[in-house]
Amino acid sequence: MTPDHIARLGQELHQALQARAPIPPLSGRGLALTLAEAYAIQESMLSHRLAAGARVVGKKVGATSKAVQAILGGIPQPDFGLLLDDMLYNDGETVPMARLIQPRAEGEIAFLLKRDLRGPGLTAADVLAATEGVMACLEIVDSRIRDWAIRIEDTVADNASCGVFVLGDRLVAPEHVDLSTCGLVLARNGEVAVTGAGAAVLGHPANAVAWLGNTLGRLGIPLKAGEIVLSGALAPLVPVTAGDHLRVAIGGIGACSIRFA
């Protein structure tokens, strides 16, 4: 695939985001996309937002649990995307549905790094030692691919289906909580929608961050001090519509909530 073709596909995804109008899957166009090409399309897509002034504040790992991999059409492995400052909402704020297309919510553990991590060769212990603290997080994933008809190449190109995210206001040192056994409850409009536990994320959420650090390290990219890393969903995705109120609570870590209007 030529650089011009990659740029055109990145622009198509960016235009879909701006217009809130999904496009047909890239994987169904006979392109024989490789993962490397999909990540190049992601970079092209994000370049438009960065050129307009958005800043990178962190990274996310997606498709880390078997439940989410199955829901997203049998995606076989994790992927990653970038978090931008204009994706971040504060606890309790309202997200206008007009900025989303087909949102789904997932409860996660977010890591705030206090020093750089450079792979390959990183372990979960390395991640925990480099972590300032963890927070409860609601990530609202949103696909620019029509009907969520995605393969891994589609979601990678689409910035790992990133939409927006909200962080709790409590930062907990990782040594004060067992991240593999902590339980999650995600409630929608006051009723429990899904439950889960930290072990759903590659056995331990720090394993997901280590996977990300090692994957990026092979590309010469570090995880940086001060960055936020979303480690992946602890439970299945929950569709959301206008008027919904979501709250996620994670044992030993805290909670956060968001509304949709």
pLDDT digits (tens, 9 = 90+) for 177-193: 999 999 999 999 999 99
Burial code (b: 16+ CB inside 10 Å, e: under 16) for 50-73 equals eeeeeeebbbbbbbbbebbbebbe
Token pair listed for 123 = 């372990």
Q: 115-167, pLDDT tens digit by residue?
A: 999 999 999 999 999 999 999 999 999 999 999 999 889 999 999 999 999 99
Residue ranges of the domains in the chain?
A: 55-260
Instruction: Give 66's pLDDT tier (boundaries 50, 70, 90).
Output: confident
Residue 182's CB is within 10 A of a number of other CB atoms, namely 21
Q: What are phi and psi of 149, to 5 degrees?
A: -85, 70
Token pair listed for 53 = 């002034």
Q: Are 83 and 58 in contact (CB under 8 A)?
A: yes
The CATH-assigned architecture of domain 55-260 is Alpha-Beta Complex (3.90)
Q: Are 228 and 111 in contact (CB under 8 A)?
A: yes
The number of residues making up the chain comes to 261
Q: What percent of the chain has pLDDT over 70?
A: 96
Token pair listed for 195 = 């439950």
Residues with Cβ within 8 Å of 238's Cβ and at least 6 positions away in sequence, in order, are: 104, 105, 106, 186, 188, 193, 194, 246
The span from the CA of 73 to the CA of 63, in Å, is 11
Strands 164-167 and 88-90 turn out to be parallel
Q: 116-127, pLDDT tens digit by residue?
A: 999 999 999 999
The H or E element that residue 167 is part of is strand 164-167
